[in-house]
Amino acid sequence: MSKILLLSVLLFFTIRVVKGQDKITIKGDSAVRDAKPDTVKYVNLGKIAARKAVFRSMIIPGWGQAGNGLNFYRGLKIAAIYTGGTMLALSYIDNNNNYHQYLAEVQYRAIHGDQPKPGNGLEGYSNTAGITTAKEIFRRNREVVVFSFIALYAVNIIEAYVDARLKYFDIGNESALKFSPTMINSNTMYGYHSFAPALKISLRL
């Protein structure tokens, strides 16, 4: 009984050791031990590229678009970003200068009994209430420009992210978008048919 038990235990451990061995491949005169295959992990290239684009666009606006692969279309987007930023910067400077000019005028007239401040360029405006209103308009315009800066910065980041994701988005070779001219029946009253030219759009998936 003890011999059978001993043989069973030895057989069990022998099977475990044999199963744990690596495969041996014989190539020519040498034997090569094959390693166990690793688990293949799926890598989402679009997600990785999108993260890089967001990071770059947060540092330098337009860098994310350039990192996605610079071409004519992306060049236009970068030019639009910097053109919009330049126009907003000029608008902010103009509104800020006007705001401080009108603010100084209002403060001077409040102290000197509605007398215009010499050399401020607003001597011809006798209505102090109108100057106060203009000051508030320039202040609001300045705040709108600041919010527009933030919006442009956010759009720059979002656009770079979407562009990077779509760059690796494959719709396959079977999809197609076709435009073709056609005629449509626009009037069928009293048995009279009139046709009008139209554009037909066909989407094949």
Burial annotation 116-130 (CB, 10 A radius, 16+ → b, else e): bbeeeebeeeeebee
190 falls within a domain:
no
HSE toward the beta carbon, residue 5, CA cutoff 13 A: 2
Residue 5: inside a domain = no
Would you state the pLDDT for residue 112? 85
- Angle (deg, nearest 10), helices 72-111 and 128-167: 160
- β-partners of residue 199 are 181
Residue 121 lies in a domain: yes
User: Phi first, then psi: what are they for 26, rounded to 5°?
Assistant: -95, 120
Confidence of residue 168 (pLDDT cuts 50, 70, 90): confident
Is residue 21 one of the residues assigned to a domain? no
The domain of 65 spans 45-169
The answer to whether residue 197 sits within a structural domain is no
Amino acid code (one letter) for 185: N
DSSP β-ladder status, 30-33 and 24-27: antiparallel
Alpha-helix residue ranges (DSSP H) falling in the chain:
2-19, 45-59, 63-67, 72-111, 128-167
103 lies in some domain:
yes
Quote the CA–CA distance of 68 and 54 in Å, as a whole number. 11
In total, how many domains does the chain have? Answer: 1
**Tens digits of per-residue pLDDT, 83-139?**
999 999 999 999 999 999 999 999 998 988 888 888 888 888 888 898 999 999 999
Write down the pTM of the prediction.
0.62
51 found inside a domain: yes
| pLDDT of 188 above 80 | no
> Is 97 a domain residue?
yes
- Per DSSP, the three-state class of 200 is strand
SS3 116: coil
